[in-house]
């Protein structure tokens, strides 16, 4: 019988044995081998796809970042336009000057009366007013979120009073606190920031006077542990022209008593 190795006939067993003896994993003998350059081209294609995906990802991140910045800027502009305390401060810098100049410097439109009937009934001794375009509701009554009242003498601005009505929207009694706040614990000649940090309250009213002094009113309430009733207080503080505190006091507000009492005959 003829030897298969000498006849030139292909043997799979001989091929596998030969490859194993060379310590090489057997390949498919019928597979057409790729040229060396083919592998490099495949790697370049893969690398190109990765680069394209990375660029798309970076573009998406950039677009998101721009949108976030735009949103932050939009919110900041809206808050700035509705910042009544800021407008009051700008007007106060021009106390003693013609009200027309003060209005122009503050970039604020002033009117001779409020758009809200309640304010026109409560405040009658002012010559000009500016108020928020957004409103709030306090005990069923619609008011602007804030209002600025200006008084004049011979057409010159003499004092500016700012009211933050939005502060009372959640509770007519003021900001809720856990207990009584003793104003006598505030150090003498404290600055505005020091007082407000100690009280942890926003001002309900800010009044700028002609002699460059300033008055601020704070309203708060708390639950009395002995009676279980809500107790409300108003704190008033005054600063001199140098910005030093020279007077602070409080008064208990009996809102319920006022509402429940009957008018005198």
Residues 239 and 176 in one domain: yes
Task: Flag whether 245 is in a domain.
Answer: yes
Residue 239 CA neighbour count, 13 Å, CB half? 22
DSSP, residue by residue, the chain: ---HHHHT---HHHHHHHHHHTT-----TTSPPPPHHHHHHHHHHHHHHHHHHHHHHHHHHHHHHHHHHHHHHHHHHHHHHT-HHHHHHHHHTTTTSBHHHHHHHHT---BSS-SSHHHHHH--S-SEEEE-SSEEEETTEEEESEEEEEEEETTEEEEEEEEEGGGGSS-TT-EE-SS---GGGSPTT--HHHHHHHHT---SEEEE-TTS-EEEEEEEEEE-TTT--EEEEEEEEEE-TTS-EEEEEEEEE-HHHHHHSPPP-
Residues 189 and 65 in one domain: no
pLDDT in tens, the chain (265 residues): 444 444 455 555 665 455 555 554 445 554 445 555 555 555 556 566 667 777 777 888 888 888 787 676 655 555 554 589 999 999 999 999 999 999 999 999 999 999 999 999 999 889 999 999 999 999 999 999 999 999 999 999 999 999 999 999 999 999 999 999 999 999 999 999 999 999 999 999 999 998 899 999 999 999 999 999 999 999 999 999 999 999 999 999 998 888 888 876 5
Residues 113 and 64 in one domain: no
Residues 61 and 138 in one domain: no
pTM above 0.75, yes or no: no
pLDDT attached to residue 258:
84
Task: Flag whether 34 is in a domain.
Answer: no
Residues 170 and 51 in one domain: no
Residues 126 and 200 in one domain: yes
Domain encompassing residue 137: 80-260
Residues 84 and 140 in one domain: yes
Residues 133 and 53 in one domain: no
Residues 59 and 182 in one domain: no
Residues 140 and 61 in one domain: no
Residues 74 and 184 in one domain: no
Q: How many structural domains comprise the chain?
A: 2
Residues 64 and 187 in one domain: no
Task: Flag whether 95 is in a domain.
Answer: yes
Rounded alpha-carbon distances, angstroms, from residue 167 to 149, 164, 184, 191, 228? 17, 6, 24, 22, 24
Task: Flag whether 26 is in a domain.
Answer: no
């Amino acid at each position: 019988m003829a030897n298969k190795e000498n006849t030139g006939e292909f043997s799979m067993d001989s091929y596998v044995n030969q490859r194993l003896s060379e310590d090489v994993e057997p390949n498919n003998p019928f597979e057409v081998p790729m040229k060396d350059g083919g592998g490099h081209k495949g790697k370049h294609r893969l690398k190109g796809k990765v680069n394209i995906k990375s660029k798309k990802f970076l573009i998406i991140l950039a677009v998101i970042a721009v949108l976030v910045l735009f949103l932050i800027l939009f919110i900041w502009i809206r808050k700035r336009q509705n910042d009544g305390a800021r407008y009051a401060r700008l007007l106060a810098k021009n106390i003693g000057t013609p009200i027309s100049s003060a209005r122009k410097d503050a970039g604020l439109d002033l009117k001779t009366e409020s758009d809200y009937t309640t304010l026109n009934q409560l405040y009658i001794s002012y010559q000009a007013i500016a108020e928020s375009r957004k409103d709030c509701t306090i005990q069923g009554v619609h008011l602007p979120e804030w209002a600025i009242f200006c008084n004049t003498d011979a057409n010159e601005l003499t004092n500016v009073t700012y009211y933050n009505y939005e502060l009372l929207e959640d509770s007519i009694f003021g900001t809720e606190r856990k207990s009584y706040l003793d104003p006598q614990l505030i150090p003498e000649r404290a600055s505005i920031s020091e007082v407000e940090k100690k009280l942890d309250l926003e001002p309900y009213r800010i009044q700028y006077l002609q002699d460059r002094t300033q008055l601020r009113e704070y309203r708060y309430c708390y639950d009395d542990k002995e009676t279980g009733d809500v107790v409300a207080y108003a704190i008033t503080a005054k600063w001199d022209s140098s910005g030093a505190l020279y007077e602070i006091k409080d008064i208990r507000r009996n809102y319920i008593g006022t509402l429940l009492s009957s008018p005198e005959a």
